[in-house]
Structure 1
């Protein structure tokens, strides 16, 4: 496969990934705001919960659309790597939100408002999108390794002399 074909294929996968991610982001932001500003949840707990809710959409969309062309390996193995990747990304996202909000609190001298918190949240999502794409592409939904078939000598029906 030549370089241009590889770039086009990666661009197609990346576009589908961004569409699935965009929908997942809308779900995550909606649930995050609902939990924080309607139900009064802690920011980090809301971030983790919202990420987990959006995760369901992300798995189905990425498995069945974005990376559907990949050879499927064991569903158990794929789910393991998907959940591990997303646990790491969720933790990183929550840490980014916490650090960002605390940095704003230090700069402003008071708790930041909803707009600032959402800017920090969206910034964290942007960073996580890049990390997730790399991990989904090369770890979770990777191309199954090609097996090398060994050629066995043909058996003949000739009697031994």
Structure 2
């Protein structure tokens, strides 16, 4: 099987693509962080909820907003054939990220005794950083799977001279479709 430059990008091309993806991931994530911290601040100061309850409420709302950004902006070109599977995995990995974040917050508040609002925010930042690394790897690897690259099909053998009628039309259509697949693969 022959490989082409389009189907086997260099390491530099892969890193450029990954850095662009990481920047977009950061933009969506930053919007989620703003939502997360705003809701957290309202919960601990306005509603006077405990820090862990506030963190869970804020993170759940941010997870919802982030899913919309990831699905419809960052990973819109990724395979969305099984939304049920995608949402299930997204919630599973988001929940694991929330546990990481909440664990760091709980550790700092209940074991280290750092319980002022600003100390809680600092612990939340640390937990969020660890959770974000986990989420980035899990989302791009398992949740928003890349659509498999089309394999350039070898050109079909030319139709025999005696082939006429419907068989000739089908053979010609297969040639056009094969050429179109190759053209689209090169365009990506």
Contact 2:100–2:130 under 8 Å retained in 1: no
* Counterpart residue number, 1:127: 130
* CA distance, structure 2, for counterparts of residue 33 and residue 13 of structure 1: 30
Q: Greater CA radius of gyration, 1 or 2? A: 2
Q: Aligned-residue CA RMSD in angstroms? A: 2.4
Contact 1:47–1:94 under 8 Å retained in 2: yes
Kindly indicate whether structure 1 or structure 2 has the higher relative contact order, using CA contacts under 8 Å at least 6 residues apart: 1
Q: How does 1:31-42 map to 2 (within 5 A)?
A: 31-42=39-50
* Secondary structure in 2 matching 1:83: helix
Q: How does 1:36-115 map to 2 (within 5 A)?
A: 36-105=44-113, 112-115=115-118
Unaligned 5+ residue runs, structure 1?
Answer: 106-110
Deviations 1:65-97 (CA, angstroms, capped at 9, x unpaired) = 111222323111111111111111112211111
* CA distance, structure 2, for counterparts of residue 147 and residue 79 of structure 1: 25
Aligned pairs, number: 152
Relative to structure 1, is the Cα distance of residues 4 and 146 closer, same or farther in structure 2, using a 3 angstrom cutoff? closer
Q: 2:17 aligns with which of 9, 23, 37?
A: 9
Unaligned 5+ residue runs, structure 2?
Answer: 1-8, 164-188
Deviations 1:99-127 (CA, angstroms, capped at 9, x unpaired) = 1222431xxxxx53111111001111111
Tell me the TM-score normalized by structure 1: 0.84
Contact 2:51–2:120 under 8 Å retained in 1: no
* CA distance, structure 2, for counterparts of residue 46 and residue 145 of structure 1: 41
